Structure 1
Amino acid sequence: MYKAIICVLACAFAGAIALVGKTCTSNSQCDPSECCQILNAFMVVSKRQAQDLSLFQNPTNGTCQKYRLEGENCGTFEKINGYCSCEPGTTCHMYEVPLASAVNARMIVAPRPGYQWVSKCEKPAPA
């Protein structure tokens, strides 16, 4: 009984992953609101790692995925790692905001007491 349930769930999961997006090799093969998301073989998690990306043979095929819209949460290293990140004309901006309540004791990186880091897709400020 359990084997049958596990088999059905595994098949459903594999099918869901296979239908994520159309296969692509460049942004021109996707809709205007999408990019060709080609994930790097090795994920960059620091600026120091971003310098040595040319040493690795990265995949050339990806899938069409939606851009993150203005005001949505984003990640600083998404674009470097091959994710779509913010829509054209916006950038991922990271800044501190005051906390409304007490700081969680299990917070790994506290920017300073009473504040937290927030990353959002925003249009660049005019110069």
Structure 2
Amino acid sequence: MSHPADLSPAQRQLRARRAVDELGPDRDEHTVVRVRCGRSHHVATVFDTPLGAVYVSSVGPHAHGHRDFVDEPHHASTHGTAYTDLLDGDPLTEDTVPAYCECGMHELSRAELRRAVDAHQRTIQLT
């Protein structure tokens, strides 16, 4: 496997998406960090995969429902656009990653997410 520094952003995101897909239907068992907004909406998840930590979020308006996960429709009929990327990048990789919930857009820091993973912090609550 190529080091993240050797991959373009599109290649890195494709590999990350495939790594999460390979976790299968029980991927929640591989969750290391969940991110929630101040209203407890689900904003993003970091999964432990064979490639390393992978960040997953739905960007753009999407449905919410049971426990605020996007696969449970509630007030919207769309699912947004999935944004998936390796949490670690090269020194030129932008630190911020996009996220979205009913409250609006969020930008999360890869460095802060990495610190949460390293500290075994299960949930990040945004303010």
TM-score of the two chains, using structure 1 as the length reference: 0.26
Q: Which structure shows the higher helix fraction?
A: 2
Structure showing greater Rg: 1
For normalisation by structure 2, the TM-score amounts to 0.26
Larger strand share, 1 or 2: 2
Asked which structure has the greater RCO (Cα within 8 Å, sep 6+), the reply is: 2
